[in-house]
Amino acid sequence: MTTFGFHASHEQIGPRALLEAVMHAERAGFDAAMCSDHFSPWSARQGESGFAWSWLGSALQATGLPFGVVNAPGQRYHPAIIAQAIGTLGAMYPGRFWAALGTGEASNEHITGDPWPRKDIRAARLRECVDVIRALLAGEEVSHDGLVRVDRARLWTRPEQPPALVGAAVSVATARWCAEWADGLITVNAPVAHLREMIDAYRDAGGEGPLHLQVHVSWAPDQAQAEAIAYDQWRSNVFAPPVCWDLETAEHFDVVSADVPAHRVAEVVNVSADLGRHVGWLEEYLELGFDQIALHHVGQEQRGFIDAFGAEVLPKLRPAG
């Protein structure tokens, strides 16, 4: 049975309010949660960027939900540190934590002062990081000299069962590549045909494990309000790769998105005041076979969305009885 999660967006909501939101989501009937891991928001209008790993410890303690995080090891984070973070949360909350690993965006990674590599180099670096993290979680002492360097690292605190390392992808080619190493696949809402092609590529290449989908939605009781929320908060997020990978600051995103038309936002966010319309969109994703669907309301106020979806949307998506 598909589980429905709450996506916690650190770029948009301060950590205290975000913790209150995820606790409320659990009470409202959400089955799971996941969060982003950013150093910078996508826009100055979003205005936040709390540290995901501090927050995750609080969120796992404050709820009974399983949690995931989307992380980019290799530049801002050394893979041994990410392995330690994953291992500690896995040991504290067995069976409740997973990490999705991707190649990242310059807006978060440029802060180290190191050059932002080409996409092929970032992919190769991620693959090295995955191997390092897996080996450390397995209890091995790791030394490695490559795009990342590790010297005699060993994790002294580890979970009995290593948390899943999920591959993050938005393209068919990346989904196929993730099948080489990932324990599952995560992507974001896109046209159904594209999502189906991604799933097929992952499975046909031997990819195993659960399929996760993050769905951007904007809901309000009034259609104009739902559209205004999406336009204010998410118009900086309409740009396809490589633009979204390579811009370096929130100010850059705000400049390039200054004249984005509203219809572009509706191409990446499911915008509607009609809860039945949201049910229909989610039913289409269900038919593709996703094991977990995490809903991200792109507004900064979450309570109304949580209450409405908990009462009127999620029950219609679950099997009767």
Active-site residues: which are they? 38, 105
Q: Which residues contact 21 (CB under 8 A, 6 or more apart)?
A: 6, 8, 13, 302, 303, 306
Report the alpha-carbon distance of residue 147 to residue 127 in Å, rounded.
Answer: 10
Q: Which residues contact 10 (CB under 8 A, 6 or more apart)?
A: 18, 35, 36, 37, 38, 48, 49, 50, 51, 52, 55
